[in-house]
Amino acid sequence: MLFSQNNKLEGRWILDKETELDGNLLPINDFNFSRYEDYKFMSNKMEISGMEVPVTISSNKIKTPGLEFGYEFKDEYLILRNTNKILWLLRPQSFIQLYPEFQPKEINIDGRIVYHENVIFTADFNYKGGFTKYLQDFLMNYHDFPNGKNQSIIEFVITKNSKIENVKILKSISTDFDSKLILHLKKGEKLFQNSTGTDVFYRKINSFINEDGPKSGLSKEDRTVVKIFEKGNGYYLKNDFKKAVESYEQIGTLNSINNSMILETLYIRLGVSYLANENFPGACESFNKAGGLTNFKTRNYIINFCNKK
């Protein structure tokens, strides 16, 4: 493997946007319009969002088993071109400078300043699929969930020396679950590599549906949200955005949902459907409800169609 241009590729890059070859925006209902993806180049390998990909790199080409990219550097960007798309990537530091909403927030813990991690500012975690997948693997292998409890919140600090400290359970599932979660976390300490130069604070919310609970743990209001979501999807996936709006809008004031991914996706698809009907205020309101500028699934919609607020 040959790295050219003074090894400029090496390290972590964050996907800022993806465009057509002519630089135009993707279709608004394209999944890739607004999404998170990071690339990491290390000596003789490449990782895409934590998944290692076999790769061969020359002075201007990156080849994987399924794709070939031309690459170049322009200003702060690493630009990857395949047969029909362009990917624009930034270093984490450059990303934060361009988008200060990702500047980590200071937190005082027991008299010392730590910095709240976010998707851009974080310690590396050397595990296939990343730290989120590491936690998900624990949840998938734990089976003694008590009925009626389907959310755990844990917080901790990764020191600048990559050590785990200040572990606290903010929302408990059970004594057994909590102790095993903490043990799983501490076993993963050796996988952290903190190169931020600061202590990094984490708060992780683990949500799941207890399949053994009554009606999958969903309240009556939650089940209503699911029905609205499924009905709207029937129209959305057929590009019938007018009827999709009519369906999704039934969400009204309902906001209690155990699986928040459903509610998030509903608001994103409602926003896209509003855009298709040229209702820009409605679209921007929906995208902000789904997470705003710091949610990678909505940020590019807001950047391109809304005022930054």
Cβ count within 10 A of residue 64: 13
The string of DSSP letters for 241-253 reads HHHHHHHHGGGTT
Sheet-wide strand order for 164-171: 106-109, 112-116, 200-207, 151-158, 164-171
pLDDT of residue 42: 84
pLDDT of residue 156: 98
Give the separation between CA 266 and CA 53, rounded to whole angstroms: 32
**For range 94-121, the mean pLDDT:** 96
pLDDT of residue 6: 42
pLDDT tens, residue by residue, 181-214: 999 999 999 999 999 999 999 999 887 655 454 4
Contacts of residue 185, defined as CB under 8 A and 6 or more positions apart, other chains included, come to: 154, 156, 164, 167
This prediction's pTM: 0.85
Beta bridge partner(s), residue 17:
88
